[in-house]
Structure 1
Amino acid sequence: MSYKIVVDSCGELKPEQKSDIHFASASLELDVDDYHVVDDESFDQKEFLRRVKESPNCPKSTCPSPERYMTAFEGEAQNVYAVTLSSRLSGSYNSAELGKKLYLEENENKNIHVFDSKSASIGETLIAMKIQECEEAGMEFQDVVKEVDRYIETQHTFFVLETLDTLRKNGRLSNLKALVAGALNIKPVMGSTPEGAICQLSQARGMNKALEKMVQEVVAKTKNCEEKILAIAHCNCPQRAALVKEKLEKAANFKDIFVLDTAGVSSLYANDGGVIIAC
C-alpha cells in the first residue's frame, strides 16, 4: 500500500472505492435544529430530507477537524492525498492543511498533499479517481500533484435544484427572489467559477427545460468529451438522473458516464430532487 486518498464526505465515493484500501473518508457533521448526524455510512437521506423540509431554519454542516484528518493520514502509505470541497464554500480545506502540518511535525518521512477541489460532490470523486490513475501509472508524488492540479483547472461543475429553500435559508438568495422563482417555477442552472465559488449560468421555466439547458452548458464548456469521464449525482431522484445521462449520451461522446446518489453534505445543498454534474 504505497498511497492513500482521503476524500471529505461531500465527495460521493463509488462502491468500488469504498471497498478499496487506498480510499478513506473524512466525515463532516450535519445539524437540522436539534437533529445531529455524522455524514458517514449511517447517514439516513430520507430522514434528513424530511427534517430539512419541515424546519424553518437553515441546516448546517461542520467540516472535519484537523484531528480527524490526522487520523485519516495514518497508516503505511507513503504518499497521502486529501481532496476537499471548495475552500470558497467550506473550511474543510483549511482544516486538512492544518491537520497535514500537525501530522508532519512528527511524521517527516511521509508525503501529504491537500487538493482544493474548487468543486464539491462528484467533482471530488473524479479528482480522487484521477489521483488513483496517476499513482497506478507509477508517477512520482510531485508529478501526481502537478497532473491533478492541471486536471482540477479544467474541471467544470453544474447543478440544477428542485427547490431554492436551502439557498434562501443560508442567505445565498434573497427571500423575494426565491419566492418569485418558486411562484414562476423558474429553475436556475448553476455552476462553479474557476476559483470554486457558485455562479448562475442560465435559467429556465420548469425542471425539464432547466435540465436540458444544463446539458447544453456541459457540452458547450467541455473540450475533448471523448477523453473525459462525466459523473452525475442526484438527491433522491434516480429517474431524473437517468434522463440527464441519456441526454448527455445523445449530445456528446463521453469516455464514460456514471451516476451516484448524494451523500449527506451534498444532500443538504442539492436538496430533494437536485442534480449535479461534474466533468
Structure 2
Amino acid sequence: MTVKIVADSGANLTSGRLGNYETQIVPLSLIQGSTTWTDDESFDQATFNQAARSGIQTSSACPSITSWLTAYEDADEIYVFTISAELSGSYNSARQAAELFLEKYESQEKAGRQIKIHVFDSRSAGPGEYLGMQKVAELKDQGKSFAEVVAAVNDYLQEHVKLFFCLKSMTNLANNGRVAPAAARIAGLLKICVYGWADKGLIVPLGKARGEKKAWKNLARIIKDQGYRGGKMVINHAGNLEGAESFHDIALADFPGAKITLGDCRGLCSFYAEEGGLMIGVEI
C-alpha cells in the first residue's frame, strides 16, 4: 500500500517527502494583468513583487480538477489538505477531483485494490496545513488505519491547530475581499502592524501596534492565552527571516522546550501576507 500526502501550495511547501511519505504539492495561481504565475518551483518572487509594486491588479486562482487528479495518481491511500474553503475554491476543486478519482478506480476494487482518499479543509493556510500533514505522518508511523487517521486529523485541525498572523500591510487581502477595507487601511500607517488569527477559516484582526516588536509581544501573549503551552509551532515569513527569528526567540523565552520550525512563504501566501508578514501556526 502506497500512502501519499497531497496539499495545495498554500501550505508553503514544495513536493518531496515528509518522514516516510511522499508529498505532492498542487500549485495555485496568481493572475497579474495578462500574466498567470504558477505557485511552484518556477515562481519568481522578485519579478512578481516588482510587477505588483507597479500597481497591476492581482488575484488568485485555485488548482484545476485535472491538477488534483494528477497529484492523486500512484497511491492507494491519499490524504489531501487545502487552504481554508472560506478563502479559496481549492477545497471544492480537490473534493470534486477525489470523487472522480474514486470513480476511475472503482472497477479495480473488485480486483482487490482499495483506493482511499480524504480531503481536509484545513480552515487555515501555510503553517496550519503543514501541521495537519505532519499529524498524518505521525499517525501512519503509529500504524493507524485510514479511518483512524481521518478522524484524528479532523479533530486535530478543528480543536488543536490555530493560525495567527502579524502583517505590515493588508492591502492585497482587502483588494481581493479577504478582509474589510477599513481594517486594511490601519496596517502600514505610521508603522502600524496588525495581528490576528484565522477563526473558522476567516481572517480576523485582533489588534494593532506601532512597530513590529510590540506587535509580536502582543501576539505571543494572545497565543499563550489561547492555550499554547510549548507544542509545535511553525513560523512562515514573507521576506522577513529576522522577524521570524525574533518571534521564535519570544516564544522560546516562555516555552524553552517548544518545537519551532521556520520557513518561507511561497507565492500565494507571500502575496497575501505581503512583505514582512508572519504566519504562525501553533498546536494547542
The two structures have a TM-score, normalised by structure 1, of 0.91
In structure 2, relative to structure 1, the CA distance for the partners of 1:274 and 1:256 (3 Å cut) is same
Question: Following the alignment from structure 1 to structure 2, what is the Cα–Cα distance between the partners of residues 254 and 15?
Answer: 29
Match of 1:208 among 209, 213, 216: 213
Runs of 5+ unmatched residues, structure 2: 107-113
2:67 equivalent to 1:64: no
How far off its partner does 1:184 sit?
Answer: 3.7
2:99 equivalent to 1:101: yes
Report if aligned partners of 1:229, 1:254 keep a CA contact under 8 Å in 2. no
How far off its partner does 1:2 sit?
Answer: 2.4
The two structures have a TM-score, normalised by structure 2, of 0.90
2:151 equivalent to 1:152: no
Report if aligned partners of 2:5, 2:79 keep a CA contact under 8 Å in 1. yes
How far off its partner does 1:216 sit?
Answer: 1.2
In structure 2, relative to structure 1, the CA distance for the partners of 1:253 and 1:186 (3 Å cut) is same
Question: Following the alignment from structure 1 to structure 2, what is the Cα–Cα distance between the partners of residues 71 and 14?
Answer: 16
Report if aligned partners of 1:181, 1:187 keep a CA contact under 8 Å in 2. yes
Report if aligned partners of 2:240, 2:275 keep a CA contact under 8 Å in 1. yes
In structure 2, relative to structure 1, the CA distance for the partners of 1:135 and 1:176 (3 Å cut) is closer
Percent of pairs with identical residues: 33
Counterpart AA for 1:31: I
Aligned residue for 1:191? 197
Question: Following the alignment from structure 1 to structure 2, what is the Cα–Cα distance between the partners of residues 130 and 21?
Answer: 12
How far off its partner does 1:170 sit?
Answer: 2.1
Runs of 5+ unmatched residues, structure 1: none
SS at match of 2:280: strand
Question: Following the alignment from structure 2 to structure 1, what is the Cα–Cα distance between the partners of residues 118 and 27?
Answer: 18
How far off its partner does 1:211 sit?
Answer: 1.5
In structure 2, relative to structure 1, the CA distance for the partners of 1:4 and 1:174 (3 Å cut) is closer
2:88 equivalent to 1:85: no
SS at match of 2:125: coil
For residues 1-279 of structure 1, what are the structure 2 equivalents within 5 Å? 2-13=2-13, 17=17, 22-57=22-57, 59-75=58-74, 77-108=75-106, 109-153=114-158, 154-173=160-179, 178-179=184-185, 181-193=187-199, 195-223=200-228, 225-226=229-230, 228-279=231-282
Kindly provide the CA deviation profile for residues 81-107 of structure 1, in whole angstroms up to 9, marking residues without a partner as x.
110000000000000000001111121
SS at match of 1:81: strand
How far off its partner does 1:238 sit?
Answer: 0.6
In structure 2, relative to structure 1, the CA distance for the partners of 1:133 and 1:181 (3 Å cut) is closer
In structure 2, relative to structure 1, the CA distance for the partners of 1:32 and 1:238 (3 Å cut) is same
Kindly provide the CA deviation profile for residues 205-228 of structure 1, in whole angstroms up to 9, marking residues without a partner as x.
2222111111111122134x24x2
In structure 2, relative to structure 1, the CA distance for the partners of 1:133 and 1:92 (3 Å cut) is same
How far off its partner does 1:47 sit?
Answer: 1.7
In structure 2, relative to structure 1, the CA distance for the partners of 1:15 and 1:230 (3 Å cut) is farther
How far off its partner does 1:241 sit?
Answer: 0.6
Question: Following the alignment from structure 1 to structure 2, what is the Cα–Cα distance between the partners of residues 180 and 144?
Answer: 42
Question: Following the alignment from structure 1 to structure 2, what is the Cα–Cα distance between the partners of residues 168 and 6?
Answer: 29
Question: Following the alignment from structure 2 to structure 1, what is the Cα–Cα distance between the partners of residues 44 and 208?
Answer: 31
* Higher mean displacement: 259-268 or 195-204: 195-204
In structure 2, relative to structure 1, the CA distance for the partners of 1:19 and 1:220 (3 Å cut) is closer
Kindly provide the CA deviation profile for residues 15-56 of structure 1, in whole angstroms up to 9, marking residues without a partner as x.
963797611011111112233211111111222222222215
Report if aligned partners of 1:32, 1:55 keep a CA contact under 8 Å in 2. no
Question: Following the alignment from structure 1 to structure 2, what is the Cα–Cα distance between the partners of residues 255 and 137?
Answer: 22
Counterpart AA for 1:257: I
In structure 2, relative to structure 1, the CA distance for the partners of 1:236 and 1:157 (3 Å cut) is same
SS at match of 2:104: coil
Report if aligned partners of 2:83, 2:129 keep a CA contact under 8 Å in 1. yes
Question: Following the alignment from structure 1 to structure 2, what is the Cα–Cα distance between the partners of residues 27 and 205?
Answer: 35
In structure 2, relative to structure 1, the CA distance for the partners of 1:20 and 1:31 (3 Å cut) is farther
Aligned residues: 274
Report if aligned partners of 1:79, 1:110 keep a CA contact under 8 Å in 2. yes
Question: Following the alignment from structure 2 to structure 1, what is the Cα–Cα distance between the partners of residues 71 and 42?
Answer: 18
